[in-house]
Amino acid sequence: MPEFRYHALTPQGQETTGIENAANKQLLAQQLKHKRLILLKATAIKPPKISFKLSLRLISELNDLVSGGIVLERALQILSNGDNNDPFIQLCQQIRQGLKDGQSLSQAISQCGKFDPLLLPLIRAGEASGKLSQTLDTLEQYYQSQKQLRSEISTSLAYPVILVIASIISMVALTLYVIPTFKDIFEDDMDNLPLGTQICFGVSDWMTAHGFMLALIMSVISIGCWAAIHFNATIQLKWHEFQLKLPVIGQLISQNEASKIFNVLGILLNSGIPLLQALTICQDVISNRAQYQGMTQCIQQLKQGGNIASNLHYIPHLPVIAERLILAGDESGSLPQSCTKAATIIQRDLKNQLKTLVAMIEPLIILIMGGVIGFVVISMLMAIFSMSDLV
């Protein structure tokens, strides 16, 4: 239940402040009225966001203890032992205190902050069915697979990113520090130098004079674009639509989103959660706003009596294999298995395409960097040879 920080008037006309749990501001005002307080102002307290790393550790360690036959409250007591400044220890202590106050595990976890969208619904389903241990195991497997996917993507992109940064630094160093050193040597005979050498010196002069201003302008533009995308819903939607239309990058983005959607959907349906509720939860894992809106339309059509297979087209740029498998699963009554299979295939294709893209980018970056450095070196050598001829 949301927390509100309120300002209210006492019967004596004095202003007081406090924190109260309530579903909304109207119910908060009624609750305060029972306490003989008049609500003046209320601000919702934004729950802290629990990181993916912390969620994974909680589920993994809790699952190890519970599957070993240890009672839930005792398991949390074991996990709570340690440094009180450790965020994980604090989280376990807070959950354990909720259990001691008579709350269920899902209620205690919900009081701690904002977790991954999949966590709370699955734990509630596990509590309702009496299969909490199996639910924790399912969650751990999901988080471990997501951790592995993130790690593979980060590892694949790390080298090209480092290569690009090194290339930019090298070119800037050449332009600002190396080339000006040669310019002093040829300063008395600039008109007779080869064209390549004159181009190098011209670029170096321009960068020396305007490089700082160029960097400043690019920084301001970048920050402005970032702010517009993050704080303006219309611009953000257009940007996400543009991303999906990019030749290679768009396909990778759509595959990443699709793997998350169908992976989560398969887990939820296998846990007995109804389709509409499962799709609503899946919507929260979608990062792309264009696909998020498409999911909203899909859910609305399902509420009017449609089926999922015929309404997936509302979600733009979904892989074709996903639509085919969902259609087959919907017709055969094996939708959960079809969703899991679709997620597996899409995730495999995503990894393969990412490896192919990286394999193409790396030599291209090296070729460009080598070409620029080679051009500078040859230009300087040609200038030296031309000076020798003149002598």
CATH number, domain of 365, equals 1.20.81.30
How far is 92 from 78, CA to CA, in rounded Å? 9
Q: pLDDT, tens digit, for every residue of 304-325? A: 887 888 888 899 998 888 889 9
Judgement on whether residues 358 and 258 belong to the same structural domain of the protein: yes
Q: Specify if 14 maps to a domain.
A: yes
Q: pLDDT, tens digit, for every residue of 346-386? A: 999 988 888 888 888 888 888 888 888 888 888 878 877 77
Q: Specify if 140 maps to a domain.
A: yes
Judgement on whether residues 118 and 236 belong to the same structural domain of the protein: no
Stated pTM of the model: 0.76
The candidate with the shortest Cα–Cα distance to 60, out of 79, 80, 84, 82, is 79
Q: Specify if 246 maps to a domain.
A: yes
Judgement on whether residues 323 and 285 belong to the same structural domain of the protein: yes
Judgement on whether residues 90 and 29 belong to the same structural domain of the protein: no
**pLDDT of amino acid 243:** 92
How far is 249 from 308, CA to CA, in rounded Å? 27
The torsion angles phi and psi of 4, rounded to 5 degrees, stand at -125, 135
Q: Specify if 379 maps to a domain.
A: yes
How far is 325 from 347, CA to CA, in rounded Å? 14
Residue 271 domain boundaries: 158-391
Judgement on whether residues 109 and 66 belong to the same structural domain of the protein: yes
Query: 3 forms bridges with which residues in the sheet?
Result: 21, 45
Q: Average pLDDT of 175-193?
A: 76
Three-state DSSP class for residue 18: strand
Owner of token pair 């219309």: 234
